[in-house]
Amino acid sequence: MLLQAATELTTATTSTAQNIGAPVTAYLPVMIFFVVAIGFPILPIILGRFLRPSVYGKGKMRPYECGIDPTTDAHSRFTVRYYIVAMLFLIFDVETIFLLPWAIIFMGDDFSFTKFALVEMFVFIAILVVGYYYAWRKGALEWA
């Protein structure tokens, strides 16, 4: 009786495994994904090589294609102030990203936590305002 149950169990698992398929076929969607992922960027490069013109005109070989003739050297220097304004923009822009999770949490049902979150956000915004005021007073936001 025990031997018969073991034999039926073995045949049941074997038939189930045969219905599922070989282990290689389980990876077929992954293989298709890799083929598409490799073919997707390579196909436009190959098509572009055949479709583009092989000889460029005089206008195409100029340094700028925007229609304005270049008047200065391409290696002109920018002032440090330009980079400071760019960094300040990035800093304040990243800081404002933190407002979204706060707004989502603030809409919660727990009033004691929302009071705490409101006070924390006022502190956060106050620190941002102090940093902005400091940068303004130092002249970091001036272009000239």
- Give pLDDT tens digits for 20-31: 567 778 889 999
Query: Rounded distance, CA 32 to CA 41, Å?
Result: 15
Per the model's pLDDT, the better-predicted residue between 13 and 55 turns out to be 55
Domain with 105 in it: 80-137
Burial 81-99 (b: 16+ CB within 10 A, else e): eeebbeebeeeeeeeeeee
Burial 35-66 (b: 16+ CB within 10 A, else e): eeeeeeeeeeeeeeeeeeeeeeeeeeeeeeee
Query: Encoding tokens for residue 59?
Result: 């206008």
Best-predicted range by mean pLDDT among 19-28, 30-39, 86-95?
30-39
Average pLDDT value for residue range 45-68: 78
Mean pLDDT of the chain: 77
Domain assignment of residue 70, yes or no: no
In this predicted model, what pLDDT tens digit does every residue of 107-142 receive, in sequence order? Answer: 766 656 677 777 888 898 898 889 889 888 888 877
Domain assignment of residue 100, yes or no: yes
Query: Rounded distance, CA 46 to CA 49, Å?
Result: 5
pTM (2 decimals)? 0.41
Q: What was the pLDDT predicted at 21?
A: 61
Domain assignment of residue 23, yes or no: yes
> Total structural domains in the chain?
2
